[in-house]
Amino acid sequence: MTERRFTQDHEWVELSGDTATVGISNFAQDQLGDIVSIEFPEISSKFKQKEAMAIVDSVKASSDIYCPMDGTIIEINKNLQDHPELINKSPYDEGWMLKLKVSNISQFENLMTQQQYEKFVGEEKG
Amino acid sequence: MNYIPHTKEDVTLMLNEIGASSIDELIENFKPCLTSPLKLPEPMNEMQLVSYFSELAGKNKIFKYFVGAGAYDHYSPAVVDHLIKRGEFMTAYTPYQPEASQGMLQAMYEFQSFICLLTGMDVSNASLYDGASALAEAVLLSSSYTKKRHVFVDNGLNPSYYEVLKTYCNGSDLEFTNTIDENTCCVISQNPDFYGNIKDQRPLVEKAHHNKALFITCINEPTSLALLKPPGEYGSDIVVGEGQSFGIPLSFGGPYLGFLAVKNFLLKKIPGRIVGMTEDKNGKKGFVLTLQAREQFIRRERATSNITTNQALLALAATIYLATVGRKGLVDVAKNSYYKAHLLYEKLGKIGFKGLNEKYFYNEFCVKTPKAASKIFSQLLEQKIVGGLVVDDDKIIVCCTEKNSTADINAYLEALK
Amino acid sequence: MKLIFEYEQQPTEHVEQIQTQLDLPSELIRDSLPLPNVNEIDIVRHYTNLSKKNFGIDNNLYPLGSCTMKYNPKVSEELARLKGFASIHPRSPVEYSQGSLEVIWELQEALKEITGMDDVSIQPAAGSQCELLGIMIAKRHFENKNEKRTKVIIPDSSHGTNPASVAMCKLETITVCSDSRGNMDFNEVKKKISPDVALVMVTNPNTLGLYEENLLEIKDLAHQNGTLMYCDGANMNALLGISKPKEQGFDMMHLNLHKTFATPHGGGGPGAGALAVRAFLSDYLLVPRITKEDGKFQLDYKKEKSVGKVHSFYGNFGILVRALCYIRIWGNQIRHVSENAVLNANYLFAKIRDSYHVPYDRRCAHEFVVSAKNIPNGGTIDIAKRILDYGFHPPTVYFPLIVEEALMIEPTETESKETLDKYAQVLVNIAKELREKPEIVKDAPHTEPSRLDEVKAARQPNLRWSPQ
């Protein structure tokens, strides 16, 4: 498993071979508030980087989850369907959302490192 | 001035506070500005208004109705209108602040429960505009869920509903087809159908499900549900319909009450408001609008429906109606309607009318008339009877409810002599 | 309070009892009907007590922005219940429903005069259905001209229904930002307009309560591009007798009759919508059309270009009666409605503006938006709940989405200066409380029930009663 990288839309990615595990950052779950449901894409659907692939709903908001790297959905975290609160409680571990088989590994290099992301979030907070 | 409480002094004080010299100054940038008053009649005081509208209402003639076709002349107990007129209900809006809206919210929870109990479905929303648009919403839901675009409509759907459905489907690029196959997103069947037929839906349900299409049962006359097998029990995935029969006045076609209920797997796709039970900070039971992230004001272009306002006050009326007539009264209403229709049917058979229904019908039936249907219709009108809906040169659909007494039925037959 | 399903009594009889055997096979009939039986006295008490747990305009000021919660005249309720209106079957022959048709006709004529438009349809059940229809008409119009236009420009301050309606018609929404004065940003419109834009949808005054200052320029730009202008008329309460949307350059617009013309909102409906259009779009309007010949009204279904029908019958007739009542009450003096709506909004704004952040510092129209973002220790939700403690209804909150911690306040013309003074005092007090003793605001409301758990409601949905 590689280090964790981040997108500007607050998704995180960990890469193992050509399998990427995706979730949303601690900052993102905090901004969204109590998450009440998640709408997953179908297994084996394909997405390009930055395409909307899932929707996360809190009580008062609905947010797209964007695809961090080109790829095909191979697994979703079914546990979240009954326990969406895991995204709030454990965004980097039990709250992972889905796995992609990525088609362009080099895209990983362009994502932000933990350090870069923290700086990015600091700036966004203003 | 009407309904504006300000005195001249108030207006002066208010303008001072704002820092404006006149009201005109406040609206000077609303361009282009009108320079003369609108060409509308002189204002009316309340007495003039009453006389104006009484005269208009008097131009309508209220006859004995033996017509249904999507609107039914049932009796509504006095308590229904008495209670919905309470200002706390009537002058509220969508319960965005649940702590100040527990009354309406609980009533909507009761409404949803009544609809589920009657239809045999798992979840209901808190109402849609009317039966026809509820059907259209159900079709959009089906397309969004199955990601397919072909719609199959079984014979016997109310033609007005079909027209509305066509409008929505054209707008959303959905197509009607004559066959059920793997491209079909939903199969729609009205029960009892437009001609009153009670249908055994099971073969059609099976065909729909075999092709991974959703089965939609559409209901025009919901009092039938007091007697008939709930659509949820014969495999419907969605049940939609018109709730006007439940205590809502005919009122020339509106406002009525659309309802939509689904099986659990479609919960997240339901359009419109849904009320849920929850707790307050102290653990006390209470109600809120819930699953709102489905709705347009949050999802905007990703929402499955654009519906906002629904028919809450009429859902309240239906709730109070169902509670008031209760289990026993609703069965009486349904049995009376059924019985009266069958009585008239039988007697018409003896004077040359030929029944065109399949095996079973509820409170509407279609007959072939012994002479031109329009003639029959005029003959009845002369006796202040609206005798049915003429659907062809020699076909008429006739309806009875508990309000059509035996004497009315005799008058109907007498008029045809 | 218990649920109605928890009663089991001897019911009150309302219709004839009947002993008849049904001639139906068992596979078509139900086994049991699990409804309650309740005697009338407990029906009346149950729903009377529920009503006491509900807040309406009849209780106190209810300044929900964008919803126009004005006083609903009681005479209109009586008149809509006249037997001639309430008891007429929609399938009655037209010669016996002339009174209903005249109501609709007169209402349409009045709406044409108010909007300046050439034709109108009152069939839609609400504003959102009008939007859908307006977009369908635009689609059909361009199809007939053999033009492929797939996009709709909408400002970021719009009602959520606008983009949702666009999506229902399978077109694409192009969002345009608001400028520093709260207007639709003209330069952005200029950048984003292209030959495939079918429609520009504008709410005027917009949801910030501000009159669109760039409207005429946007209109010129749109029309030069062959694009139609649609007005979301939810905020028409600011413009009656003051300015006509057709003269502002719109080709189509909708009115929410329940808002502008004071029909009761019923706890969330029924409402009614009207779609008004310029002459060149008239043929696309819904069927049946009402025609008048020699003083007799007829229903005309033969309109080949019509986009069809959106209602089971002719529209929400009972609401149309009430709307016409309001229009007749005011007649040619209807301008007073909007003048006083604007006066009341500006007055309340002036009284509270020092206590809240003002995102767009301009005179407002019939409503205004302030923000709670600079007030420490709490957010808009806390302020809203605390307002309930003072016996008033909160404004619309967290909308429009472009203003952080928004409070959108529309007092309407029917409120007295005294009521507005009291409401202003409450808003000022709460801002102060948040600075000095925030707990009292954060724990609000101190009513029964206390703050309700919406997260639990969404995560563990309990949406109905079931028999044991």
Q: Could you tell me if B308 and B333 lie in one domain? A: no
Q: What is the pLDDT of residue A63?
A: 87
Q: Search chain A and give the residue with CA nearest C398.
A: A60
Q: Which of C318, C336, C384 sits opposite B255 (nearest CB)?
A: C318
Same domain, B166 and B99: yes
Residue A126 clears pLDDT 60, i.e. is over it: no
If asked whether residues B84 and B69 sit together in one domain, one would say no
Nearest Cα neighbor of B160 from B197, B205, B198, B130 is B130
B228 and B174 in a common domain: yes
- Smallest CA-to-CA distance from A108 within A53, A67, A68, A65 is with A68
The distance of C33 to chain B (nearest Cα, Å) reads 6
Q: All domains of chain C, ordered by start, with CATH?
A: 4-52 (no CATH), 88-332 (3.40.640.10), 336-454 (3.90.1150.10)
Give percent above pLDDT 70 in chain B: 100
Q: Which residues of C touch A84 (CB under 8 A)?
A: 459
Please give the C-alpha separations between residue C118 and each of C144, C203, C205, C244, C283, in angstroms, as whole numbers: 21, 20, 22, 12, 11
* pLDDT of B358: 86
Count of other CB atoms within 10 angstroms of residue B264: 11
Task: Closest CB to C169: pick one of B18, B116, B172.
Answer: B172
Statement to judge: residues B340 and B301 lie in one domain: no
* pLDDT reported for residue C43: 98
Cα C218 versus chain centre, distance = 25
Residue B232 belongs to a domain: yes
Omega of the bond prior to B192 within 30 degrees of 0, cis? yes
List the subunits that have 3+ CB pairs under 8 angstroms with A: B, C
Find all residues with CB under 8 Å of C342, minimum gap 6, and list them: B23, B26, B27, C238, C364, C365, C366
Residue B263 included in any domain? yes
CB-based contact, A55 to chain B, within 8 Å: yes
CA-to-CA distance for C108 and B286, rounded, in angstroms? 43
Could you write out the DSSP letters of every residue in C57-86?
TTTS---BTTT------HHHHHHHTSHHHH
Instruction: Report ipTM for this prediction.
Output: 0.97
Query: What is the Cα–Cα distance from A122 to C39, expressed in whole angstroms?
Result: 64
Is B322 at the interface with chain C, CB within 8 A?
A: yes
Interchain contact B212–A (C-beta under 8 A): no
- What sign for the dihedral angle of Cα C229, C233, C235, C239? positive
Q: Is the pLDDT of residue A107 over 70?
A: yes
For residues B341 and B234, the answer to whether their CB atoms sit within 8 Å is no
B326 by Cβ neighbours in 10 Å (0-12 / 13-18 / 19+) ranks as buried
Domain span at B354? 64-73+328-415
Task: Name the residue in chain B with its Cα closest to that of A81.
Answer: B268
CB contact under 8 A, B326 and C129: no
Instruction: Write the pLDDT tens digit of every residue in B95-106.
Output: 999 999 999 999
Chain B contact for C413, CB < 8 A?
yes
CB C107 within 8 A of CB C327: yes
* pLDDT tens column, A68-101: 999 999 999 999 998 999 999 999 999 999 999 9
Residue B343 within any structural domain of the chain? yes
Tokens of B311: 């028919």
Contact with chain B for residue C335, Cβ under 8 A: yes
Which residues in chain A are contacts of C459 at CB distance < 8 A?
34, 36-37, 84-85
Q: Which residues of C touch B297 (CB under 8 A)?
A: 159-161, 399
The pLDDT assigned to B60 comes to 98
Is C130 within 8 Å of C257 (Cβ atoms)? no
Rounded to the nearest 5 degrees, what angle is found at the Cα of C165, between the Cα atoms of C164 and C167? 65
Domains and CATH numbers, chain A: 4-102 (2.40.50.100)
Indicate left, alpha or beta for C268 from its phi (over 0: left) and psi (-120 to 50: alpha).
left
**C204 neighbors C129 (Cβ within 8 angstroms):** no
Tell me the C-alpha distance between B407 and C112, whole Å. 47
pLDDT at residue C261 in the model: 98
The span from the CA of C318 to the CA of C329, in Å, is 17
Per-residue confidence (pLDDT) for residue A125, from 0 to 100: 59
Averages of pLDDT over runs of 10 residues in chain C (468 residues) are: 96 88 91 96 98 97 97 97 98 97 98 98 96 96 96 94 92 96 96 97 97 96 98 97 97 98 96 98 97 96 93 97 98 97 98 97 97 91 97 95 95 98 98 96 95 93 94
Is residue B400 within 8 Å of residue B236, measured between CB atoms?
A: no
Whether chain A has a CB inside 8 Å of the CB on B268: the answer is: yes
Indicate the average pLDDT of chain B.
96
- Pair B153, B294 in one domain: yes
C121 in Cβ contact with C286 (< 8 Å)? yes
Cα–Cα distance, B56 to B50 (Å, whole number):
10
pLDDT value at B142 more than 70 = yes
Subunit contact A60:C455, Cβ cutoff 8 A: no
- Taking contacts as CB-CB distances below 8 angstroms, the residues of chain A near C455 are 34, 36, 59
Look-up of token digits 């909408």: C154
Q: Where is the domain boundary, B294, B318, B342?
A: B318
Q: Based on the fold, state whether residues B208 and B283 are members of the same structural domain.
A: yes
Residue A1 binned pLDDT confidence (cut-offs 50, 70, 90) = low
Q: Do C448 and B89 touch (CB under 8 A)?
A: no
Helix (H, G, I), strand (E, B) or coil at C428: helix
- Assess B86–C contact: CB distance below 8 Å, yes or no: yes
Beta-carbon count within 10 A of B324 CB:
26
Are the beta carbons of A103 and A72 closer than 8 angstroms? yes
In terms of domains, do B310 and B336 share one?
no
Chains near B, with 3+ CB pairs < 8 A?
A, C
Measured distance CA(C463)–CA(C455) in Å, rounded: 14
Q: Is B153 found in the same domain as B125?
A: yes
Residue B295 clears pLDDT 90, i.e. is over it: no
DSSP structural state of residue B101 = B
Contact of B209 with B172, CB cutoff 8 Å: no
User: C288: cis peptide before it, omega within 30°?
Assistant: yes
What's the pLDDT score for residue B172?
A: 87
Q: Where a domain ends, among B263, B296, B318? A: B318
Cβ atoms < 10 Å from Cβ of B390? 18
For the record, the structure tokens of A85 come out as: 């609160």
Residue pair B317/B247 in contact (Cβ under 8 Å)? The answer is yes
pLDDT digits (tens, 9 = 90+) for B155-192: 999 999 999 999 999 888 899 999 999 999 999 999 99
Residue B140 lies in a domain: yes
Amino acid at site B203: P
The order of strands in the sheet holding B258-262 is B123-124, B258-262, B238-242, B214-219, B184-190, B150-153, B175-176
Q: Is C154 helix (H, G, I), strand (E, B) or coil?
A: strand
Kindly state whether residue B21 falls inside one of the protein's structural domains: no
Does the residue B83 lie in any domain?
Answer: yes
Here the CATH number for the domain that contains residue B373 is: 3.90.1150.10
Q: Are residues B199 and B247 in the same domain?
A: yes
Tell if the CB–CB gap between C398 and A60 is shorter than 8 Å.
yes
The answer to whether position B3 is within a domain reads no
Per-residue model confidence (pLDDT) at position B306: 79
* B190-226 per-position pLDDT tens digit: 999 999 999 999 999 999 999 999 999 999 999 999 9
Q: Are residues B263 and B348 in the same domain?
A: no
> What's the domain count of chain B?
2
Q: What is the per-residue pLDDT for B68?
A: 98
Domain co-membership, B160 together with B231: yes
A–C CB contacts, 8 A cutoff, strictly below? 14
- Which of these three, B287, B318, B349, is where a domain ends? B318
What is the domain-level CATH number for residue B272?
3.40.640.10
Structural tokens at position C221:
């730009």
